[in-house]
Amino acid sequence: MANNLGLSIDRSSPVPLYHQVVQGIEAAIYSGVLEPGSRLDNEIDLAAQLNLSRPTMRKAMDELVRSGLLVRKRGVGTQVVSSQVRRPLELSSLYDDLTNNGKKPTTEVLSFSHVEADDATLATLQLPAGSKVYHFTRLRKVGGKPLALMENWVRDDISAMDEAMLSAEGLYSILRRGGVNFRLATQRIGAMTANDYQASMLDTSAGSALVTMERTAVDDTGRRVETGHHVYRADSYSFEMTLVQR
């Protein structure tokens, strides 16, 4: 029963109808209203309950299937996935993760500027030409030991930002307080060897292995909020994850 799931549709919203359904069902799953393993009403009934067409409802369902939250089978129905995709690497910041793991991270802001974005940044953040961004580099330490060197570009229309804020807390906390609801991020993990600068910042030797991560985060309105290039000491950092067969 859609109504029991607390789904609601706002036809005056700029958010597409199918996407409102996605968000509503996601919220129901994460809040526990829809429990793992539980079955949903069939798509025709769900559509009727929300006064939506079946193709619109199907588009929402397909997206939820693709994101691993639902599983569907012809003749059987739709079910909430029982073993959710667990990613130790969630859409969160390193600062959050370290703090949540009982460690005390510190941040040193190495550089900070509010500048006009270059073409690559404009493209990545989908900004119009001439836009300015916050561009900064930070060194993250844990227990006094350098762990990560991070360079980020953040669109400047969210909230003002300065070095003191960045020293005191994580970037994502700052952005959340500025009203950002992170929705997803694309990210690429690779490797490189440390150059002289990176080596000195991370208290390691030039040529040692670094894990690299490039990420672009998107909020719930579809805005590309920030993009970053991070490098981590390979001896102190790796990404762990569980993959589930689709």
Binding region for a second copy (CB under 8 A): 30, 55, 66-67, 83, 86-87, 89-91, 181-193, 207-212, 234, 237-246
* Shortest Å, Cβ 108 to a second copy: 23
Contacted by 145, from a second copy, DNA, none: CB < 5 to 8 Å by type: none
* Shortest Å, Cβ 113 to a second copy: 28
Angle at CA of residue 231, ends 227 and 235, nearest 5°: 150
* Shortest Å, Cβ 10 to DNA: 10
The site for DNA (CB under 7 A) is made up of: 14, 16-19, 40, 42-45, 51-56, 58-59, 61-62, 72-78
**Distance of alpha carbon 188 from alpha carbon 157, whole angstroms:** 26
Burial (CB < 10 A; 0-12, 13-18, 19+), residue 183, is middle
Contacted by 19, from a second copy, DNA, none: CB < 5 to 8 Å by type: DNA
Q: Which residues contact 53 (CB under 8 A, 6 or more apart)?
A: 47
* Shortest Å, Cβ 217 to a second copy: 9
Cα distances (angstroms) measured from residue 202 to each of 95, 147, 223, 234: 17, 6, 32, 11
Contacted by 190, from a second copy, DNA, none: CB < 5 to 8 Å by type: a second copy
User: E strands, 8-164, where?
Assistant: 39-40, 70-73, 77-80, 105-116, 132-142, 145-155
Pick the closer one to a second copy by CB: 12 or 245: 245
Pick the closer one to DNA by CB: 61 or 202: 61
Contacted by 78, from a second copy, DNA, none: CB < 5 to 8 Å by type: DNA
Element (H, E) at 93: none
* Shortest Å, Cβ 137 to a second copy: 20
**Distance of alpha carbon 91 from alpha carbon 96, whole angstroms:** 10
